[in-house]
Amino acid sequence: MVQRRNALGRGLDALLSMDEVQTEGSSSINEIELSKISVNPNQPRREFDETALSELADSISEIGIIQPITLRKINEDEYQIIAGERRYRASLKAGLKSIPAYIRTADDENVMEMALIENIQREDLNSVEIALAYQHLIEQYDLTQERLSERVGKKRTTIANYLRLLKLPAPIQMALQNKQIDMGHARALITLTDPKLQIKVFEEIIQHAYSVRKVEEIVKSLSEGETITSGNKKIVPKRKKLPEEFNLLKKHLSGFFNTKVQLTCSEKGKGKISIPFNNEEELERIMGKLDSLKK
């Protein structure tokens, strides 16, 4: 039987519970001390642009690691980089002590494909573990999402939704794995294209215990270019720069209503026109202006 380990997730260990499969393979996401990580001596890349590394280090200092690196577990206190040496080097520059990483043991590559596929159906895995298992199958056995969907009996869109979770910032993936948020929260956050915005909304979810529906409403508003107030904090989306004709329209509307009209536009081209008022008298004046347009 597979020996269980203390880790954030059971990962592929949980998938390999059949007696006839003898393996110590595992895959999970965890925080690993940088002092325990070594670079792969067979890494073909030898030179790293110092300016680009410094820029990445500054980004990491501000919002942390967005995409975990991938490590091979050599022993209890030693890991080797499979992918992500640039992120590793930038994290050292940023002064980090640990880094989020996907962990694989050296025996992962010997795992039987059918054992993985059959056990995905039977184990109670969290969504990140399932996503990692799907990714492992696709990479190791050169499967398309369509082919994998046939093998595991899941819709291709279902598999695609799981795989998209692995593109979320590392803190969100770890929270999902630790059941601080659920799949619904994560799927809502995926629709935001800005990782910084994803992190900000995620922090509000944790602080205020927002429901999935509440997060969907927040994400929808942010996607349409609106500024959101959460608690005492304002979340401002990345807005598309308004074309000159939009600015002219904004000035024209502000002059017509004699108030500062707000016009926002998201990166997707969606937007909103807002006409603010300070009291009932101003509202009546604005309504009078609107009524005059009907004549």
Residue with token string 């601080």? 180
Q: What is d(CA 235, CA 229) in angstroms, rounded to the nearest whole number?
A: 6
Residues with Cβ within 8 Å of 293's Cβ and at least 6 positions away in sequence, in order, are none
Contact 235, 248 (CB under 8 A): no
Phi-psi region of 231 (alpha: psi -120 to 50; beta: other; left: phi over 0): left
Give me the amino acid identity at 30. N
3-state secondary structure of 58: helix
Per the DSSP assignment, residues forming a β-bridge with 207 are: none
| Residues assigned a catalytic role | 85
Pairing label, strands 78-83, 37-38: parallel
